[in-house]
């Protein structure tokens, strides 16, 4: 069966189909917070990396969050 012929189940609940490791299992999923607060791509990535840094890539994830924050600051200062 090719991907074109696969059907999506009637009820597809993303929480039932966890993809990834333990670092994504938090009480409030970052994507829930991002969606509820209507955050953009850059804001969402800051939330994602700060939320998971202790359980995945440590300081590397914090540096990624800083990178997105620096870009956001640059954009704001360029206005």
Sign of the CA dihedral with 32 first, then 33, 38, and 44 last: negative
Query: Dihedral, CA atoms, 12, 13, 17, 22, nearest 10 degrees?
Result: 160
When pLDDT is cut at 50, 70 and 90, the band that residue 66 belongs to is very high
Model confidence pLDDT, tens digit, residues 32-50: 999 999 999 999 999 999 9
Question: pTM surpassing 0.75?
Answer: no
Pick 44 or 23 by higher pLDDT: 44
Say if CB 50 and CB 67 are below 8 A apart. Answer: no
Instruction: Give the total residue count for the chain.
Output: 79
Burial of 45 (0-12, 13-18, 19+ CB in 10 A): buried
**Res 11: pLDDT:** 67
């Amino acid at each position: 069966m090719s991907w074109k012929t696969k059907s999506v189940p009637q009820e597809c609940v993303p929480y039932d189909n966890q993809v990834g490791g333990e670092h994504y299992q938090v009480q409030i999923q970052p994507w829930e917070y991002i969606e509820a607060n209507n955050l953009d791509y850059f804001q969402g990535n800051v939330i994602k990396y700060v939320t998971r840094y202790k359980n995945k890539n440590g300081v590397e994830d914090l540096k990624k969050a800083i990178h997105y924050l620096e870009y956001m600051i640059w954009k704001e200062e360029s206005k």
